Amino acid sequence: MLEDLTAKLETALKKIRGQGKLTEKNIADSLKEIRRALLEADVNYRVAKDFIDAVRQKAVGAEVLRSVTPGQQVVKIVHDELVRLMGESHAEIKMAGIPPTIIMLAGLQGSGKTTFAGKLANYLRKKGRRPMLVAADVYRPAAKEQLKIIGKNLGIPVYATDSQDAVAICKESIQACRKQGCDVLILDTAGRLHIDDEMMQELERIKKEVKPHEILFVADSMTGQDAVNAAKAFLDRLDFSGVVLTKMDGDARGGAALSIRAVTGRPIKFIGTGEKLDAIEDFHPDRMASRILGMGDVVTLVEKAQEAIDVEKARKLEQKLRRDEFTLEDFYDQLQQIKKMGPLEQLLGMIPGVGKQLRNVQVDEKALVRIEAIINSMTPEERRNPRIINGSRRRRIAMGSGTRVQDVNQLLKQFDEMRKMIRRMKRMKFRGGINPGGFPFS
């Protein structure tokens, strides 16, 4: 996520980060590189100019130049200005005092709007809400079916009819929502390949008739300034309340993320970080600024861990570790919990200092799949006691998992090394969790 921008900003700031003394020329040279990095990231020209002017004004002040660590002070100024640029604080969804809360999604075709509708419904359900999805795209034949499949997979009701009147569908869905005891209604409206007056008029009619509590503009972050320009056009006609940036996991530049708040004046509320229906994050400007500057995002990492980890299983695992009874079954459970947290590369990128190292390391997500397949091909007894896995058993496991005997040997060797490490850590009065180091890297 935003790897290219992070690398260029780190290079620009490296020259002044460790300086014992700064001059206005030092700062000017670094700001020139930062400006170039922003423009190459497809940040809006005016936004980039205002950002550089704000940093320059604060960085050349007497307090910074005379500071004991002037370089670090400038880095902090850049961080704070990035936070300001992206909205300063997290903006939550506004819930209605009397349900249902109506959330209308709008955007161009291909922005990931329908998938995001499912992600948002799943997100709200985890928060204790009872969402209903509404198929209000009457133009794209597959849209209604796609939403039905998403709803079925999530176990969330979908309101869909054969009507070709999107406004009527949205109005009727409110009564259906109340009848089914749902308290949040998510309207998946039609997108277009380009902005046209007919589409805007339909959205305006839906807004007028349904009076949504939130209107979220869904944009593909990878389209950079095109997304920002589309947002401006939608804002003029629809006056939306917030922005969703999808496909952030594939956006290496970050132009949309850094520009859209400044250009529209509307907060970014969510980002999409993958294809799975749980790949959604609240947008926190301070955390995103830290990620952009290579400082990681420990808070989000901890939140993901708290959501994924089963506390009772963790307690039992700790007892097993103390008794030196850690098995391949336990390791398999740990892998499942790690997978729930999201792609491994994203998780590692949230650890301060690790993201930079990952640029030169191949993170092999398929390694986890191979490990799962190998463990699944073992008998319960073999998982509990790997020592009984002889040559013939290894060949059977390799054949059953679609892997090589060398892969089975490697897993057993690494598992044995990990158990030895756990024993050493226990002797050092180890009190924490485990770290299955080495497995996902090749």
pLDDT at position 122 over 70: yes
CATH number for the segment(s) 3-86: 1.20.120.140
Beta bridge partners of 272: 280
User: In terms of Cα–Cα distance, which of 324, 231, 305, 247 is closest to 280?
Assistant: 247
| 207-216, 275-284, 430-439: range with lowest mean pLDDT | 430-439
More confidently predicted of 239 and 291: 239
Confidence of residue 436 (pLDDT cuts 50, 70, 90): very low
* Percentage of the residues of the chain whose pLDDT score is greater than 70: 82
pLDDT for the residue numbered 335: 78
pLDDT for the residue numbered 433: 47
pLDDT at position 295 over 60: yes
Q: Which residues contact 19 (CB under 8 A, 6 or more apart)?
A: 26, 70, 71
Residue-wise over 19-39: b if at least 16 C-beta within 10 A, else e? beebeeebbeebbebbbebbe
pLDDT for the residue numbered 315: 74
pLDDT tens readout for residues 375-412: 999 999 999 899 899 999 999 999 999 999 999 999 89
Q: Which among 67-81, 226-240, 314-328 has the top mean pLDDT?
A: 226-240
The fold adopted by the segment(s) 302-427 is 434 Repressor (Amino-terminal Domain) (1.10.260)
Domains of the chain: which residue ranges?
3-86, 101-295, 302-427
Average pLDDT score over the chain: 83
Confidence of residue 67 (pLDDT cuts 50, 70, 90): low
Q: Which residues contact 391 (CB under 8 A, 6 or more apart)?
A: none
3-state secondary structure 364-390: CHHHHHHHHHHHHCCCHHHHHCHHHCC
The fold adopted by the segment(s) 101-295 is Rossmann fold (3.40.50)
